[in-house]
Structure 1
Amino acid sequence: MGIVATDWLITSDVALEVAFRIDLPGPDRGRWVLSYLPADHRITRSQALAGVLLAELMVLEPLGTGDDWDVDMASAYAADLGLSLTEALTLLALRAFAAPEYGPDGAGSGGGDSPEPRAQSPCATGDRR
């Protein structure tokens, strides 16, 4: 795992998720924000590190490989964030699906026809479910 943690920023060379420290005057000063959690959700540095580790774990060792240790580790990281594993994975999946490589119209950034399916929310297509 390639986690880089400084006093202000925690990044991964594998996962697209980051955490950064808030240094604006106010009650949240010194708290952290994790890229896949709601912007108003403030956490500790330890929780921020657990969140980036969870994101990296999901990229490097996907669940469902039959190894319970991965599930236990992922569950522990999610619990550090106050989330169930399902909640954490859902937030990570939503962020991965909205990654910039898909572009604003859902197409790949390489131009031309993308082999990836274009997904739109029911609200965008007018579909009522």
Structure 2
Amino acid sequence: MAIIASDWLITSDVAHEAAFRIDVPEPHRGKWVLSYLPTALRLTREQAIAGVVLAEMILIGLLRPDGEFDNEIASLHAGVLGLTITDAMCLLALRTSGQESDSLRPNRSRPDSGESGGAARFCHHTTSRNEVSR
């Protein structure tokens, strides 16, 4: 597992998730957006790294034959984002589900946004998202 971090982009060599730094002139300049969270959420660099690491941990845990998964470490990373592991898994699963559905329908264009927004609607009841932007 390797996380590749630059000044403006954080990626994983395992999970297809990334974090991007906002560099347009706006009040949130310098904050980060995580690919599987609603785009309205602004994160610190620490939160962005925790989010990419968490996505990797979940994916690697799902791919292991024995399903080995370090719940304690994953909970810590999820907590940095103000999420539970279940919230993160839900958001990742709904995002992946949306990508697979779209790839099966070649004539259908993908929505500009909303994959994560839709997932947030389903997972919102378990988490206070206001804490994420702090």
* TM-score, with length taken from structure 2: 0.70
Structure scoring higher RCO (CA < 8 A, sep ≥ 6) equals 2
Deviations 1:49-69 (A, max 9, x none): 000000101111239x575x6
| Match runs of 1:1-129 below 5 Å | 1-62=1-62, 70-99=70-99, 103=103, 105=105
Q: How many residues align?
A: 105
- Structure label with greater radius of gyration: 1
**What one-letter code is carried by the residue in structure 2 that aligns with 1:32?**
W
CA displacement at 1:100 relative to structure 2: 5.5
Structure (1 or 2) with the greater helix fraction: 2
Structure 1 position 14, deviation (Å)? 0.6
Inter-partner Cα distance in structure 2 for 1:14 and 1:66:
16
Query: What are structure 1's unaligned runs of at least 5 residues?
Result: 107-129
Query: What is the identity, as a one-letter code, of the residue corresponding to 1:98?
Result: G
Q: Percent of counterpart pairs with the same letter?
A: 53
- Root-mean-square deviation (CA, aligned residues, Å) is 2.3
Which residue in 1 is equivalent to 2:128? none
Calculate the TM-score normalised by the size of structure 1.
0.73
Q: CA deviation at 1:26?
A: 1.5
